[in-house]
Chain A
Amino acid sequence: MCCPRGRQAARRQVTLAFGRMSCAFDSMTRSGVKFRLLQSDYSDRVKGYCMKRVTRRLFLRGVIVLGTGAALAACAPAPTLEPGPPASPTGVAGVSGARPASPSPQPVATSTPSVPSATPLTKAQTPSAVPAGAAYLAVARGTSPAEITMRAIAGIGGMERFVKKGYDVIVKPNICNANHGPEYASTTNPEVVATLVRLALGAGAKRVRVMDYPFSGSAQAAYARSGIEEAVKAAGGEMEVMAPMKFVETAIPAGLDLKSWRFYQPILEADLVINVPIAKDHGLARLTLGGKNLMGTIENRPAIHRNLGQRIADITSLVRPQLTVVDAVRILVANGPTGGNLDDVRETNTVIASHDIVAADAYATTLFGLRPEDISYIVASAKMGLGTMDLSSIRIEELNV
């Protein structure tokens, strides 16, 4: 406010605000302790103010002032996520610049082209280098879901590779419906999820949230039905029901088909996103794996089913989970993604872990007797340089527990 009138108006506001406070004091002290707070030259005005209470004009003026303030605050530029230096994990291989495209800066042969380097980094996109001695992808087999999860994570370098002290971690399992319990293999195994929560907390995460956005049934019902809520709470994590307000239209800089969509902001802003799909049958995509699981981070899912493969890859390019753990303890081989028939469930007792979502998905296809090339979003993601689907080019550690 530069003009004198504006200054005057501002002074009047201040005067009135003081008047209001002293008015309250007056009424507080009127019947008790006798002390006059106000003897100054505008006490007359204050008296009038007390008598009149809030006039319409005063009220409207207050509303306008508040509204202007709120509008100014809302117009202030939202804090952009600075493409700061990527947190380099304890790796031998240094991270070559702020390039998130190649999942591994190690000289592991990937014939993937890199996406335009203008892509801004979100925190969740911080690349993870593969430390020495750790595998690019680990597969653990055994009858205890918790045990094989821990072994698979250990195989790729342990949770400490991904979690730094004080990290805000989001685990994104597949809890797509409230229809069936975990034995029907339509939702991620609760023990696998809980084990990841425990590992993340053990590695120093300050907060671990678990969430998904079911398409059938309320989130609360699905969380309970899947057994994940109970297991996660016992492990010390929290379940978050995804709030409508947090889906915000977000540009997808690397997107080839989808240029922008409504994404769940906390997932984009978390320090670490752990993607925990369950491997299962799906009519169009053929298999629901890590890439498909990321559809739980957006709103209005049915609308992206055209050109689904590329669109899933586009979503992956923005979310970029740094850790993907494919739950194949039980897999659903038909009538997916909701299932409901135990005859369609196979016990494969396997967990696959990798920092590379494309490699993890590519490996999971083999459990169904398919090849990575059969799944359109794996192909599209690999083409965009989000990871490698060439399983022969990476070091895979297979563990039998």
Chain B
Amino acid sequence: MSEDTRKRLKGEGGRMKDGKSTFIPNPSSFILPHRVVQGLALALFLGLAVYSWRGLRAPAPASTLLHLDPLAGLAAMLAARRWLVAFIPALVLVIGGLFLGRFWCGWLCPLGALLDWLSPHPLAGRKPDPSSRWRGVKYSLLFLTLFAALWGNLTLLFLDPLTIFLRSVGALLLPALNWLITQAEVGLYRVTLLRGALETIDTALRGALLSYKQPYYGGIALFALVLGGVLAFGLVARRAWCRYLCPLGGLFALISKASWLKRRVTEDCVSCGACARKCPMGTIDDRKGYASDSGECTLCLDCASVCPKDAIRFGPDWRVDRGWAYDPSRRQVLGALGASLAGVALLKLGPRAHHPYPYRLRPPGAKEETLLSACIRCGACLTICPTHGLQPSLAQSGLEGLGTPILVPRLGHCEYSCTACGQACPTGAIPRLTQPEKLLHPIGKAYVDPKICIPWSGRGDCIVCEEMCPLPEKAIFLREAPFTDNHGETHTFLAPVVLHERCIGCGLCESKCPVNGEAAIRVMVDPMS
């Protein structure tokens, strides 16, 4: 039995370069578990995202993922100025980080796993990495996010990695997959021979992975740009997003500076530099004896996997890891404070803050102010909405409301018996209402446009809106509207009139209105409220 094997089996540590000897398990036995855990975590998070996307009325476990996010939790609590007990799992991660450093980034983060496996990095190892001072950007982004949250603004959570992941899967990748598969099915259905097979495939996929109704999301190009940007950033360096930009990574990095478990290099090191070349975070510094910043190390164990001398150990060390050039400075904090004030003022001075967009319909029960200061832009509501009528706000509520949910009835109404968005919301920005409660919170009020409406403009009978109105006592009634044509003949059509005291603004009328383009009946934010 070789010396190496004996050491490994006994779990005996080597001697550190600083002369201290500790009992440390050999990290190489964790290399396989690391990949397995990372794969399982990605599968789990993907599964949750798919599950909540299917358009079925299920409890919304996708938001469980968000409850693990300490940045989203902290920011939402700062902005909403109340405790959110739902984020207790995030506290576990924070405490875990105090012991295990950035294990979240290396072992669990689904976006990190995507970056490891999908992000191209042809330049890695061929060109020197960008200056490590750029790593400070993530701290700036973190401080900016938190200060802005203190002033009640959560726009920057658009860049939180978990919201990016959830949004990208639910509002970008799955709709795209849905569309592609549906197109293929429609094309192949013409071939009679294939119908049996297609039917089997379709039955298996619809309801499980695919939706019966094709969603169309506004801002899908923006989502693609963000996800594509994060992945393409790998061209600069491996995991460049995690190193330089990720605000959640910044939060974990700060915690990990003081973490218990830190990477150490033993005396066996022969300075071959293999670990420094392999490290996806690029934090192993050959000028510091191949030491690494515990705020950057994700415990991915790639270094241990290439070390020819088994010279890498992870062991307890409570000292705070300071002295890196990019460590956050007081100036950075003050700069973020100033920038957050300026930024929030800028957002508040947009015209939409003063003159709201009349079709800016919020999900049932959500009030504009509380929504803006509690919505973490995760898109859980968008992806669970069974009609896919909940859409990310782009310009409708200004830059401040970017990514917050609005109902666009023309794309999908608010289903009478559904309360899924409130159940899915991880922060309570959309309140959890029962179905009878929901009916007491009108989203808006429907207005008929007589210029376009078929009977009102004298073009014939229609009444689809009246037919569709789901209320037990319909909010739309029909009255006879006489219309005299140019021959002097009078035609009488049944024309819709909305009873506003009944209308709940669900928009089913708007969604089914048979005229082309914008509907002849549209739900507006109640102008009388």
- Whether A and B are associated in the same complex: the answer reads yes
Which residues of A are in contact with B by a Cβ distance under 8 Å? 73-74, 76, 78-79, 177-179, 215-221, 225, 241, 243-246, 248, 265, 282-284, 301-303, 305-308, 335, 337-341, 344
With contact pairs A178-B415, A245-B182 given, residues A305 and B191 touching in the complex (Cβ less than 8 Å): no
Say if the beta carbon of B188 comes within 8 Å of chain A.
yes
A179 touches B470 (CB 8 A): yes
A283 touches B494 (CB 8 A): yes
Say if the beta carbon of B471 comes within 8 Å of chain A.
yes
- Report the separation of the CA atoms of residues A219 and B418 in the bound assembly, to the nearest whole angstrom: 13
B472 touches A339 (CB 8 A): yes
Say if the beta carbon of B490 comes within 8 Å of chain A.
no
Find the B residue at minimum CB distance from A344: B472
* A341: B residues at CB distance < 8 A: 472-473
B468 touches A216 (CB 8 A): yes
A74 touches B191 (CB 8 A): yes
With contact pairs A284-B467, A341-B472 given, residues A217 and B417 touching in the complex (Cβ less than 8 Å): yes
- Report the separation of the CA atoms of residues A219 and B198 in the bound assembly, to the nearest whole angstrom: 20
Q: Which of the residues B189, B508, B514 comes within 8 Å of A245, measured between beta carbons?
A: B189
A-B contact pairs, 13 of them (CB 8 A): A74-B190, A78-B192, A179-B416, A215-B512, A217-B415, A241-B207, A243-B203, A244-B214, A245-B182, A245-B189, A305-B464, A307-B460, A337-B467
Which residues of B are in contact with A by a Cβ distance under 8 Å? 55-57, 182, 185-193, 198-199, 202-203, 206-207, 212-214, 386, 413, 415-418, 454, 460-464, 466-474, 478, 494, 508, 512-514
B416 touches A244 (CB 8 A): no
A221 touches B57 (CB 8 A): yes
Find the B residue at minimum CB distance from A177: B470
* B460: A residues at CB distance < 8 A: 306-307
In the complex, what's the smallest C-beta–C-beta distance from B248 to chain A, in angstroms?
Answer: 34
* B478: A residues at CB distance < 8 A: 283
- Report the separation of the CA atoms of residues A81 and B471 in the bound assembly, to the nearest whole angstrom: 43
* B186: A residues at CB distance < 8 A: 244-245
Find the B residue at minimum CB distance from A78: B190
B191 touches A306 (CB 8 A): no
Q: Which of the residues B192, B193, B206, B471 comes within 8 Å of A340, measured between beta carbons?
A: B471
* A74: B residues at CB distance < 8 A: 187-188, 190-191
* B207: A residues at CB distance < 8 A: 220, 241
B206 touches A241 (CB 8 A): yes
Q: Which of the residues B187, B191, B473, B513 comes within 8 Å of A302, measured between beta carbons?
A: B513
- Report the separation of the CA atoms of residues A344 and B473 in the bound assembly, to the nearest whole angstrom: 10
Q: Which of the residues A215, A216, A282, A305 comes within 8 Å of B462, measured between beta carbons?
A: A305
- Report the separation of the CA atoms of residues A215 and B462 in the bound assembly, to the nearest whole angstrom: 17
In the complex, what's the smallest C-beta–C-beta distance from B69 to chain A, in angstroms?
Answer: 30
Find the B residue at minimum CB distance from A217: B415
With contact pairs A241-B207, A283-B467, A283-B494 given, residues A248 and B416 touching in the complex (Cβ less than 8 Å): no
- Report the separation of the CA atoms of residues A377 and B213 in the bound assembly, to the nearest whole angstrom: 30
Find the B residue at minimum CB distance from A222: B417
**8 additional contacts, CB 8 Å, given A74-B188, A245-B185, A306-B454?**
A218-B213, A220-B56, A244-B214, A245-B189, A284-B462, A302-B464, A305-B461, A305-B464
Q: Which of the residues A219, A248, A306, A335 comes within 8 Å of B189, measured between beta carbons?
A: A248
Q: Which of the residues A219, A245, A344 comes within 8 Å of B202, measured between beta carbons?
A: A245
* B462: A residues at CB distance < 8 A: 284, 305-306
* B467: A residues at CB distance < 8 A: 282-284, 337
* B202: A residues at CB distance < 8 A: 243, 245
Task: Identify the 9 closest CB pairs spanning chains A and B, nearest first.
Answer: A340-B472, A245-B185, A341-B472, A302-B514, A284-B463, A283-B466, A302-B512, A283-B463, A179-B416
Q: Which of the residues A76, A221, A303, A344 comes within 8 Å of B417, measured between beta carbons?
A: A221
A218 touches B187 (CB 8 A): no
- Report the separation of the CA atoms of residues A241 and B203 in the bound assembly, to the nearest whole angstrom: 8
Best-surrounded residue of B189, B213, B478 (most CB of chain A within 10 A): B189
B415 touches A79 (CB 8 A): no
Best-surrounded residue of A216, A220, A341, A344 (most CB of chain B within 10 A): A216
B464 touches A219 (CB 8 A): no
In the complex, what's the smallest C-beta–C-beta distance from B261 to chain A, in angstroms?
Answer: 42
With contact pairs A245-B185, A302-B513, A305-B462 given, residues A217 and B468 touching in the complex (Cβ less than 8 Å): no
- Report the separation of the CA atoms of residues A73 and B192 in the bound assembly, to the nearest whole angstrom: 10
A218 touches B212 (CB 8 A): yes
A217 touches B386 (CB 8 A): yes
Find the B residue at minimum CB distance from A339: B472
- Report the separation of the CA atoms of residues A79 and B195 in the bound assembly, to the nearest whole angstrom: 12
B417 touches A178 (CB 8 A): yes
In the complex, what's the smallest C-beta–C-beta distance from A222 to chain B, in angstroms?
Answer: 9
- Report the separation of the CA atoms of residues A216 and B417 in the bound assembly, to the nearest whole angstrom: 9
- Report the separation of the CA atoms of residues A76 and B417 in the bound assembly, to the nearest whole angstrom: 45
- Report the separation of the CA atoms of residues A245 and B180 in the bound assembly, to the nearest whole angstrom: 12
In the complex, what's the smallest C-beta–C-beta distance from A94 to chain B, in angstroms?
Answer: 32
* B474: A residues at CB distance < 8 A: 335
* B190: A residues at CB distance < 8 A: 74, 78, 248
* B188: A residues at CB distance < 8 A: 74
A340 touches B212 (CB 8 A): no
In the complex, what's the smallest C-beta–C-beta distance from B422 to chain A, in angstroms?
Answer: 17
Find the B residue at minimum CB distance from A340: B472
With contact pairs A177-B470, A217-B417, A244-B186 given, residues A284 and B212 touching in the complex (Cβ less than 8 Å): no
- Report the separation of the CA atoms of residues A301 and B55 in the bound assembly, to the nearest whole angstrom: 21
Find the B residue at minimum CB distance from A288: B467
- Report the separation of the CA atoms of residues A338 and B465 in the bound assembly, to the nearest whole angstrom: 12
A308 touches B461 (CB 8 A): yes
In the complex, what's the smallest C-beta–C-beta distance from B114 to chain A, in angstroms?
Answer: 26
* B187: A residues at CB distance < 8 A: 74
- Report the separation of the CA atoms of residues A287 and B321 in the bound assembly, to the nearest whole angstrom: 77
Find the A residue at minimum CB distance from B513: A302
Find the B residue at minimum CB distance from A76: B191
B470 touches A244 (CB 8 A): no
B470 touches A340 (CB 8 A): yes
B508 touches A216 (CB 8 A): yes
* A215: B residues at CB distance < 8 A: 468, 512
* A284: B residues at CB distance < 8 A: 461-464, 466-467, 494
* B472: A residues at CB distance < 8 A: 335, 339-341, 344
Find the B residue at minimum CB distance from A73: B191
- Report the separation of the CA atoms of residues A215 and B467 in the bound assembly, to the nearest whole angstrom: 11
In the complex, what's the smallest C-beta–C-beta distance from A39 to chain B, in angstroms?
Answer: 39
- Report the separation of the CA atoms of residues A307 and B56 in the bound assembly, to the nearest whole angstrom: 35
- Report the separation of the CA atoms of residues A306 and B203 in the bound assembly, to the nearest whole angstrom: 34
B182 touches A216 (CB 8 A): no
* A340: B residues at CB distance < 8 A: 470-472
- Report the separation of the CA atoms of residues A248 and B185 in the bound assembly, to the nearest whole angstrom: 12
- Report the separation of the CA atoms of residues A184 and B518 in the bound assembly, to the nearest whole angstrom: 33
Find the B residue at minimum CB distance from A265: B189
